[in-house]
Amino acid sequence: MEPLKNQVRLDGMPALLPHARRVARRASDLRGYFVDDAALEALIRRDNPVIYEVFEPSVPEAPGQIMYGITVLYPGRVGREYFMTKGHYHARRKTAEVYYGLDGQGRLVLQSEDGRSHVDDLEPGTVIYVPPGWAHRSVNVGVRPLVFLYAFPAEAGHDYAAIAQHGFAKLVVDQGGTAAVVDRSSWLAVPSRDHRMR
């Protein structure tokens, strides 16, 4: 029996993904992504926490290969927005992705380049298919870490620029203890919000 290092055991814990590369995104890595810049800067000054981390085994970035891993997105908020991933399009737009929720309560925000939006629940036992061409961002609306498995064509690549520049059209915000999906444009237009744009 040849040794083949192809198996990982989760038991709900990505720390048990051996051979996986860990990429951590702290609050300071997410400057420009949240509406409330002041709240983000306060968080960075406080202890600049890890907002999310990705555990990804090494797979060749070749057509036919499947890149996969686990994301852990911690609970918290920046102003009224919940902790979230940067979000991205795939550099090769014609590549899809599949998500599988393992733990926690989240949302997956999808957006197409022609302006359509869609928000799905991302919870234990849900499978979400991200069609080719849709940007995707996960959001933790719960009180525990949001943990999910993902798989996509290894040649897909990541394009963060479009999202970094324009953001998503939809925000997921706390409204009196409930997660609400709101239009970014109208959210920014109301001066009574407790966010302060700089």
State which of residues 38, 76, 117, 174 lies at the interface with its own copies (CB under 8 A): 117
Rounded Cα distance between 83 and 106, Å, is 10
Provide the minimum distance between the beta carbon of 47 and its own copies in the complex, in angstroms, as a whole number.
31
Site size toward its own copies, by CB under 8 A: 49
Residue 46 contacts residue 77 (beta carbons within 8 Å): no
**Measured between alpha carbons, how far apart are the two ends of the chain, in Å?**
61
Question: Is 8 a residue that touches its own copies (CB under 8 A)?
Answer: yes
Q: Cα–Cα distances in Å, from 138 out to 57, 74, 80, 119?
A: 20, 11, 16, 10
Question: Is 153 a residue that touches its own copies (CB under 8 A)?
Answer: yes
Q: Which stretch binds its own copies (CB under 8 A): 32-40, 72-80, 91-99, 186-194?
A: 91-99
Q: Which is nearer to its own copies, 43 or 128 (CB)?
A: 128
Residue identified by tokens 């999310």 is: 52
Provide the minimum distance between the beta carbon of 46 and its own copies in the complex, in angstroms, as a whole number.
34
State which of residues 89, 103, 120, 141 lies at the interface with its own copies (CB under 8 A): 120
Provide the minimum distance between the beta carbon of 38 and its own copies in the complex, in angstroms, as a whole number.
30
Could you say which residues in the range 22-81 bind its own copies, by CB under 8 A?
57, 59, 62-66, 68
Q: Which stretch binds its own copies (CB under 8 A): 5-13, 41-49, 172-180, 184-192?
A: 5-13
Q: Is 176 left (phi over 0), alpha (psi -120 to 50) or beta?
A: left
Q: Which is nearer to its own copies, 36 or 120 (CB)?
A: 120
Question: Is 17 a residue that touches its own copies (CB under 8 A)?
Answer: yes
Residue identified by tokens 């795939």 is: 90
Beta-carbon contacts of residue 64 (< 8 Å; ≥ 6 apart): 153, 154
Residue 29 contacts residue 41 (beta carbons within 8 Å): no
Rounded Cα distance between 98 and 114, Å, is 21
Residue 68 contacts residue 57 (beta carbons within 8 Å): yes
The contact set with its own copies (CB under 8 A) reads: 1-4, 6-12, 17, 57, 59, 62-66, 68, 92, 94-98, 100, 110, 116-121, 125-132, 149, 151-154, 156, 181
